[in-house]
Amino acid sequence: MLQFFAIIITISALFGFVNHRWLKLPTSIGVMLISVILGIALKSIEIFQPAFVEPFRAFLSGFDFSAFVLDFILCFLLFAGALHVNLRHLSGARATVFSYATLGVIISTFLIGTATNILLNWFGYEINAIYCYLFGALISPTDPIAVIGILSKYKIPQKVKTEIVGESLFNDGVGVVVFTVIFSLISGGHEAFTFGKIMQIFGIEVLGGLGIGLITGYLGYLLMRRIDHYQTEVMITLAVVTGGYSLAAAFHASGPLAMVVAGLLIGNKGKSMAMSDETAEYVDKFWELIDEICNTILFVLMGLEIFLVPYDLVYLLIGFILVFVVLASRYISLLPAYFLFNRNETRKSLNLAVLTWGGLRGGISIALALSLTNTVRESNLFIVATYCIVLFSILVQGLTIKRLLKRY
């Protein structure tokens, strides 16, 4: 374990140095671009000299990327992201954010699932529609890690920024819940396809996650309020994250939602009423550093994992088509809530364009796709399609969003 982290952190530090010294791109984009280039280069070398890259393949194959993201690094990144969200700004856009994160994810899941089913049938793949909706669920939520890591580098009107970041924090949790519900239905057989069973799973995931996040966050707040010692208070925030996420997993509740709620509570109520200025500064700097380190490691691993993705020209073509299906579904899924809660906006088309183009996908979608390996038929197809969408999202949308924002 120590050797593995030594190698990954060394690679991440090296790629981060190369990016900041020469590429000068946002860290997430830069390190992932370098990693993707390296992964493709190694894949090409393997065709002619498989023995040369065999140690690298063995190294990556022995690493469970899906478990690393979903069971470990995700809790730190979500808490760090939520910790810096202003609750007053979020409250002003709560109806819009809630609608995007719930109704938007559901609409997008349905649209992508339906379109994917039609497309795969057209290509001659006979796949049960429920698997296509499972794919729709894993690719629909925008990734808060990618969104915050990239969009924070650009100047965006506060309202639009709050909507994008707030939505990404919550729809990530909702998306994982929708994915879990559909996967549970598949695993549970026909008896699981009942309204009561679906509501039971959904209720445990959502309400349980929100409740655990509120309880652990509030307990952390109470402890921090009774002392003024920044080292201990930073340790308390770590305990809230690791303990809260583990508790959510034990009760089969949504850990992502728990971390978002806990982060919002400590980042707002905790900073204003339980921390001194010195403590607040140390907590902010500590979690900014954790966020930067974890982000860099995650995006490096996302790029390197492309080495293990099976290449198939048909899969790549389907993935390329689905890039535009996902973008169109994203735009359509935003329309009901946007026009319902933003009737007075003067630049609706521009705001919608930013919300659509700024809805980035990232490591969570890849982790969920990789979790399907050996459990879902044609899982390789879905993994390749997910990678196509994520790479386009981060490398193309992430790099060109600045041009769109200049129109403000």
Q: Is residue 251 part of a domain?
A: yes
Percent of the chain with pLDDT over 90: 65
CA dist 326 and 107 (Å) reads 12
Residues 139-157: b if buried by 16+ CB within 10 A, e if exposed? bbbbbbbbbbbbbebeebe
Could you write out the three-class secondary structure of 311-367? CCHHHHHHHHHHHHHHHHHHHHHHHHHHHHHCCCCCCHHHHHHHHHHCCCCCHHHHH
Is pLDDT of 321 > 70?
A: yes
pLDDT band for position 190 (cuts 50, 70, 90): low
Residue 215 located in a structural domain? yes
pLDDT in tens, 370-380: 999 877 878 99
209-231 burial code (b ≥16 CB/10 A, e <16): bbbbbbebbbbbbebbeeeeebe
In a domain, 52, yes or no: no
Pick the closest to residue 166 from 89, 244, 269 (CA basis).
89
pLDDT digits 0-9 by tens, 113-147: 999 999 999 999 989 999 999 999 999 999 887 88
d(CA 260, CA 264): 6
Q: DSSP per residue over 39-92, as a string?
A: HHHHHHHHHH-HHHHHHHHHHHHTS-HHHHIIIIIHHHHHHHHHHTS-HHHHHH
Using CA of residue 332, residue 338, residue 339, residue 345, what is the dihedral sign? negative
**How many beta carbons lie within 10 A of that of residue 273, not counting itself?**
10
In a domain, 44, yes or no: no
- 58 by Cβ neighbours in 10 Å (0-12 / 13-18 / 19+) ranks as exposed
Is residue 45 domain-resident? no
Q: What is the DSSP letter of 192?
A: G
Q: What angle do CA 114, 115, 121 make, to 5 degrees?
A: 90
Residue 387 in domain: no
Contact 274, 221 (CB under 8 A): yes
Which residues, other chains included, contact 161 with Cβ-Cβ below 8 Å and sequence gap of 6+?
151
Decide: 169 and 176 in contact? Cβ < 8 Å: no
Query: For residue 28, what pLDDT is reported?
Result: 87
Q: Scan for tokens 């349980």, then name that residue.
A: 208
Q: Using 50, 70 and 90 to split pLDDT, how confident is the model at 407? A: confident
3-state helix, strand, coil in the chain (%, to 5): 85, 0, 15
Rounded Cα distance, 326 and 143, in Å: 14
Q: Is residue 192's pLDDT more than 70?
A: no
Q: Decide if 394 is inside a domain.
A: no
pTM for this entry: 0.93
CB atoms near residue 353 (< 10 Å)? 15
In a domain, 148, yes or no: no
Q: Is 189 helix (H, G, I), strand (E, B) or coil?
A: coil
Q: Which residue has the tokens 């982290």?
A: 5
CB 201 within 8 A of CB 181: yes
Domain count, the chain: 1
Strand, coil or helix: 100: helix
Q: What is the pLDDT of residues 223-242, one digit of tens each?
A: 999 999 999 999 999 999 99
Judge whether 370 and 66 are in contact, CB under 8 Å.
yes
Instruction: Provide mean pLDDT across the span 198-204.
Output: 83
Q: What is the pLDDT of residue 408?
A: 65
Q: Write out the residue range of the structural domain in which residue 262 sits.
A: 69-108+159-306
Question: What is the per-residue pLDDT for 356?
Answer: 93
